[in-house]
């Protein structure tokens, strides 16, 4: 079992920025596909971004150019920097991870095996 713990959610104004963090294991941060997905119940979850073990990042079209996924190996933590936030970005954000030695893209995030409880992001006008 890989532990995943999100933090950093909260309320942000339209056009503002927020950084989400996900603490995980030392092995996962270096070797796993890392990603973020979001959900507005009862809608289906929506994959947002992925960072594979080779350092390649990919994004859903809805967030491309606004969100950035990155990691800090020394802290066993990866991040989702959210800029120019819109009302459509309001959701529960979950971090996710899984072993994918061939690499991964944002399309794979919804199938990653390990994920956290989520952190709420609210957007106000």
CA 84/CA 29 separation, integer angstroms: 27
Percent of the chain past pLDDT 90, that is, above it, reads 98
CA 95, chain centre distance (Å) = 5
Tens of pLDDT, residues 16-57: 999 999 999 999 999 999 999 999 999 999 999 999 999 999
At 1, is the pLDDT very low, low, confident or very high (cuts 50, 70, 90)?
Answer: confident
**Distance (Å, whole) CA 25 – CA 23:** 7
Other Cβ atoms within 10 Å of 100 Cβ, number: 20
């Amino acid at each position: 079992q890989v532990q995943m713990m999100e933090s950093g959610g909260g309320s942000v104004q339209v056009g503002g920025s927020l950084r989400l963090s996900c603490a995980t294991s030392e092995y996962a941060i270096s070797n796993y596909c890392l990603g973020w997905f979001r959900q507005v119940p009862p809608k289906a979850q929506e994959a947002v971004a992925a960072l594979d073990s080779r350092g390649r990042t990919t994004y859903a079209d809805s967030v491309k150019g606004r969100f950035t996924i990155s990691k800090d190996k020394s802290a066993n933590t990866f991040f989702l920097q959210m800029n120019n936030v819109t009302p459509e970005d309001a959701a529960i954000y979950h971090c996710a991870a899984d072993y994918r030695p061939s690499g991964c893209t944002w399309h794979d995030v919804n199938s990653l095996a390990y994920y956290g409880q989520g952190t709420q992001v609210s957007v106000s006008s």
